[in-house]
Chain A
């Protein structure tokens, strides 16, 4: 029995040093989160508030979106509404075209990944430049991100060094991270300087004021929006929050959960366009309003996209982002992928031991593991359940449902202990791939009880 995830994970694990590097790097981020979380006495209270605020906002989403849009418009910002990814891409392109914009600098936006914006624009002749260092590295490599916050975490410095040597003319053999970051700085500085437009995502949209809030460490969102005369914001509709009192709760949780920092370096509030310039917000639905109607899964809309769940996930850390078939990996990715298309992304549902650690680190208290459990229950109905698992489950149901049969099984099970290894440990024995089988007791507990031996 296997899924695309389990096969990809197996391949990933065959490179032991790479696997160890990823596990340690990402666990380290979990530890940093723990350190800062334990410093705030009010940490669990903040998480509870965050969850409550999001639940309220998401269940009154129409009101808050209308308020947000009308405030933004009163501030002179142009607000667009996109039902789906295609409409979003078209709107962004139209805005660029109207301004004669040919080069677009972008800060990180998972929403634009979801919409496949980059390829759409590139195919229409727009030069799209990712400006987050990790994203730029991956763009030059022409691969996707492997984590939503630390997209290049799976790469070694030597890989980046070679890439920059090829693409940016850096010193041969120099893979010092500081040197490479400086090379990227000069390269990206030139891109910012010559860009016609800047596109950012939105960490939060504040309904009461119309602010778009963008959090970065590199300053690339601000560079992207301080030089070119056009700022476009791609914002998922679930990113709206009520007011500044709410924002305080989220900003205290976000960076701590994501990277273990007390704050990102920059928390920028965009309320109006620069003088003589334009600012546009594209509000994107792309399935989110449908998710609202899903009683078991609507709480995924609370997600802050912090990545804490994948940092703690023992399966993500041992399989890496590329083992998942959806562009967002880890616990939230399993859930979002299934919401996007259950039949297409069902392979990821196996990537969970139901340890529940993710539930405890999520700053919005999404019941991630329970939702994965529910998706698993639904696989059979969409013909995505593993047939072997179904057979085994049916077999167990029959065995356990017939105690006489069960007792007989207990009596004869010890014979298994004596079977020759080459019979026991064959290709069909998935347990035996890395483990010895347990030894069946000569006398089971129930047999001993029946015989009066248990006293």
Chain B
């Protein structure tokens, strides 16, 4: 018997109880103003949220938020100021040194400021290796809670996706919160179509 069969047969032999799957009918938290809650939570977790007004240009906004950024990486056609593209690098290590990565989010979750980003680039390192991350998110894609989000989750063919809630952080040294651990030191969500 190989290990798989051995493990499965031991499980079947030992199981001493039988429980049904519960009906997951819980009412997740609802917000009267999901957009505002999303903005508040994004700030609470150390991120920025900017509601893009009519007439505001993404590229100008990126420049104004990150005036010292030199290496701006994106595969989004609307990001004309990009100096690099995660689809065309030879290897993911080439993305090190990215000052700002601009990516698209597909869902926002109001209860925790999470943005669902299904991988839409050749090298997903772009989501984690940049000093700063800018996420474009449409306001009509903001849901209240994770129950709703998981009902709507979609992947692209790349087979990877991540919820990102604010910048990377740690409190491992004396419980002192430090923003910017191994990934983005800052995150700005540009909310479109509000």
**Per the CB under 8 Å rule, do A and B touch in the complex?**
yes
Query: Which residues on A sit within 8 Å (CB–CB) of B153?
Result: 244
Indicate which residue in A69, A155, A220 contacts B181 across the interface (CB closer than 8 Å). Answer: A220
A181 within 8 A of B: yes
A181 touches B21 (CB 8 A): no
* A223-B183, A227-B92 known; A152 vs B16 contact (CB < 8 Å): no
A40 proximal to B (CB < 8 A): yes
Closest to A133 in B: B172
Give the contacts of B107-158 with A (CB-CB under 8 A). Answer: 109, 111-114, 122-125, 127-129, 145-147, 149-151, 153, 155, 158
Known contacts A59-B17, A295-B16; A25/B92 CB under 8 A? no
| B189 on interface, CB distance cutoff 8 Å | no
Q: Is A274 an interface residue (CB 8 A)?
A: yes
Please tell me if B164 contacts chain A, counting CB pairs below 8 Å: yes
CA of A290 to CA of B124 in the docked complex: distance in angstroms?
A: 39
Contact B172 A137, beta carbon cutoff 8 Å:
yes
* A residues near B180, Cβ cutoff 8 Å: 181-182, 185
For A242, A246, A249, the residue with the greatest tally of chain B CB atoms inside 10 Å of its CB is A249
A interface size (C-beta, 8 A): 92
Residue numbers in A under 8 Å from B158 (CB-CB) = 272, 274-275
CB distance from B77 to the nearest CB of A (A): 22
B67 at the interface (CB under 8 A from A): no
B3 on the interface (CB 8 Å rule)? yes
Closest beta carbon of chain B to A93's beta carbon, Å: 16
Complex contacts, B170 vs chain A, CB 8 Å: 133-134, 181, 217-218
What A residues does B44 contact at CB under 8 A? 262
**Mask: chain B, 159-174; 1 = CB below 8 Å from A; 0 = not:** 1111111111111111
Q: What are the interface flags for A241-260 relative to B under an 8 Å C-beta threshold, 1 for contact and 0 otherwise?
A: 01011111101100000010
Report the bound CA distance from A29 to B28 in whole Å. 24
Stretch at the interface among A49-57, A333-341, A394-402, A425-433: A49-57
CB contacts (< 8 Å) of B29 on chain A: these are 40-42
- Give chain A residues whose Cβ lies under 8 Å from the Cβ of B20: 56
Tell me which residues from 2 to 24 in chain B have a Cβ below 8 Å from any Cβ of chain A: 2-4, 6-8, 10-22, 24
The complex places the Cα of A137 from the Cα of B173 at a distance, in Å, of: 9
The 10 A-B pairs at the shortest CB distance, nearest first, are namely A272-B159, A219-B183, A293-B14, A262-B112, A218-B181, A134-B172, A226-B125, A263-B112, A52-B22, A271-B159
In the assembled complex, which residues on chain B have CB atoms less than 8 Å from the CB atom of A271? 155, 159-161
A65 adjacent to chain B (CB < 8 Å): yes
The residues of A that contact B10 with a CB separation of less than 8 Å are 285, 289-290
Number of A-B contacts defined by CB within 8 Å? 254
Q: Across the two chains, which residue of chain B brings its CB closest to A264?
A: B165
Q: Is the CB of B172 within 8 A of A53?
A: no
Q: What 0/1 pattern do residues 73 to 117 of B give for CB contact below 8 A with A?
A: 000000000000000000011001000000000000101111000
Q: Which residues of A contact B172 (CB under 8 A)?
A: 132-134, 137, 150-153
Chain A: minimal CB distance from B176 (Å): 4
Q: How far is the CA of A249 from the CA of B22 in the complex (A)?
A: 12
Interface flags for A278-313 (1: CB within 8 Å of B; 0: not) read 000001010001101111001000000000000000
Known: A248-B147, A272-B160. 19 other contacts (CB 8 A): A40-B29, A46-B26, A60-B18, A133-B173, A152-B173, A177-B178, A180-B173, A184-B181, A219-B184, A222-B183, A223-B128, A223-B183, A248-B149, A262-B44, A264-B165, A266-B183, A271-B160, A271-B161, A272-B159
Q: Which residues of A contact B45 (CB under 8 A)?
A: 261-263, 265
Interface flag for B182 (CB, 8 Å): yes
A interface, CB within 8 angstroms of B:
25, 28-29, 40-42, 45-46, 49, 52-53, 55-56, 59-62, 65-66, 69, 75, 81-83, 87, 131-134, 137, 150-153, 155-157, 160, 177-178, 180-182, 184-185, 188-189, 192-193, 217-220, 222-223, 226-227, 237, 242, 244-249, 251-252, 259, 261-275, 283, 285, 289-290, 292-295, 298
Cα A59 to Cα B11 in complex, Å, equals 9
Partner of A157, one of B93, B125, B159, B176: B176
Closest to A296 in B: B16
**Given A66-B8, A217-B169: A249 and B181 interface contact (C-beta under 8 Å):** no
The answer, yes or no, to whether B41 is at the interface (CB within 8 Å) is yes
Q: A59 contacts B15, CB within 8 Å?
A: yes
Known: A62-B11, A218-B182. A49 touches B24 (CB 8 A): yes
A193 in contact with B93 (CB, 8 Å): yes
Chain B residues with CB under 8 Å of A156's CB are: 174
Q: Complex: how many Å from CA A252 to CA B144?
A: 12
A356–B55 Cα distance when bound, in Å, is 59
CB pair B22–A53 under 8 Å, yes or no, is yes
Interchain Cβ contacts under 8 Å between A and B, 14 examples: A42-B27, A60-B18, A62-B11, A62-B12, A153-B172, A157-B174, A181-B170, A181-B180, A218-B169, A248-B24, A263-B109, A268-B162, A272-B158, A272-B160
> Are B19 and A266 in touch, CB under 8 angstroms?
no
A61 and B11 contact, CB distance less than 8 A: yes
B182 touches A188 (CB 8 A): yes
B172 to chain A, nearest CB (A): 4
CA distance A244 to B24 in the complex (A): 11
Assuming the contacts A150-B172, A244-B153, A274-B124, asked whether A192 and B182 have C-beta atoms less than 8 A apart, the reply is yes
Query: Shortest beta-carbon distance, B168 to chain A, in Å?
Result: 4
Q: A15 to B148: give the CA distance in the assembly, Å.
A: 49
A237/B7 in contact, CB under 8 A: yes
CB distance from A400 to the nearest CB of B (A): 36
Known: A25-B175, A245-B24. A223 touches B8 (CB 8 A): no
